[in-house]
């Protein structure tokens, strides 16, 4: 991943549109949590989205905008992630331009580690994705917390494909 000033520059130039066609302003005074996922078919990602959905009311009351970004087509993202209402905005990035722009890592060993060490979580996720969840990339997730002026306050890079920023760190951000 790039250094903080390069990320701030990149993020401040992003023109995000969610899967419903709504523009997502960055740096307009709202704190933003960019949760950068793998594919919408990723079993671990589906479990994390469920967890975020369960806690979203708390985060939204705290005046934080949550933006979930998936390296998937809009149709896959709608089918696997947005088939139920989500209290945050969802962005499809099918050509992985955001991932490349942020220089996010891929790692087969980190994927294998999650599969071996997080088997119960993987099986729960597969119950949501079906066999499509078995064919995913080695891309690692990331989370970026931005203040209202698009200044990076925290970058969390995953240690494996099931890893995301702990909710306790998001609590401190709020």
Q: In what order do the strands lie in the sheet with 152-157?
A: 89-92, 64-70, 31-36, 142-146, 152-157
- For the chain (length 174 residues), average pLDDT per consecutive 10? 82 92 91 95 94 86 90 94 90 95 93 91 85 85 94 94 94 86
Its domain, for residue 45, covers: 4-173
Tokens representing residue 163 in the block: 């890893």
C-alpha to C-alpha distance for 129 and 70, rounded to whole angstroms: 15
Q: Which long-range contacts (CB under 8 A, 24 or more apart) does 168-171 make?
A: 169/145, 170/33, 170/59, 170/64, 170/145
Q: What are phi and psi of 170, to 5 degrees?
A: -65, -40
Contact status, residue 50 vs residue 86, Cβ threshold 8 Å: no
C-alpha to C-alpha distance for 42 and 129, rounded to whole angstroms: 7
State how many domains the chain has: 1
pLDDT for the residue numbered 173: 87
pLDDT for the residue numbered 131: 80
pLDDT for the residue numbered 1: 65
Contact status, residue 34 vs residue 69, Cβ threshold 8 Å: yes
Q: CA-CA distances (angstroms) from residue 39 to 98, 147, 168?
A: 13, 26, 25
How many residues make up the chain in this entry? 174
pLDDT for the residue numbered 32: 93
Radius of gyration of the chain (CA): 15
Q: What is the pTM of this model?
A: 0.92
Question: From the CB of residue 61, how many other CB atoms can be counted at a distance below 10 Å?
Answer: 9
pLDDT for the residue numbered 5: 86
Pairing of strands 89-92, 23-24: unpaired
Here the CATH number for the domain that contains residue 159 is 3.40.30.10
């Amino acid at each position: 991943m790039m250094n903080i000033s390069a990320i701030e520059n990149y993020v401040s130039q992003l023109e995000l549109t969610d899967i419903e066609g709504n523009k997502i302003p960055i740096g307009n005074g709202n704190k933003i949590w960019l949760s950068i996922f793998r594919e919408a078919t990723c079993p671990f990602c589906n479990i994390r989205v469920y967890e975020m959905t369960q806690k979203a009311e708390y985060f939204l009351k705290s005046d934080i905008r949550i933006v979930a970004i998936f390296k998937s087509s809009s149709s896959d993202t709608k089918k696997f992630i947005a088939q139920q209402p989500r209290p945050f905005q969802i962005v499809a990035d099918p050509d992985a331009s955001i991932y490349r722009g942020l220089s996010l890592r891929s790692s087969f060993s980190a994927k294998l580690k999650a599969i071996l060490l997080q088997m119960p979580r993987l099986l729960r996720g597969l119950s949501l994705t079906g066999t499509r969840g078995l064919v995913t990339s080695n891309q690692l997730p990331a989370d970026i917390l931005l203040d209202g002026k698009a200044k990076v306050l925290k970058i969390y890079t995953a240690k494996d494909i099931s890893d995301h920023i702990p909710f306790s760190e998001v609590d401190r951000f709020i």
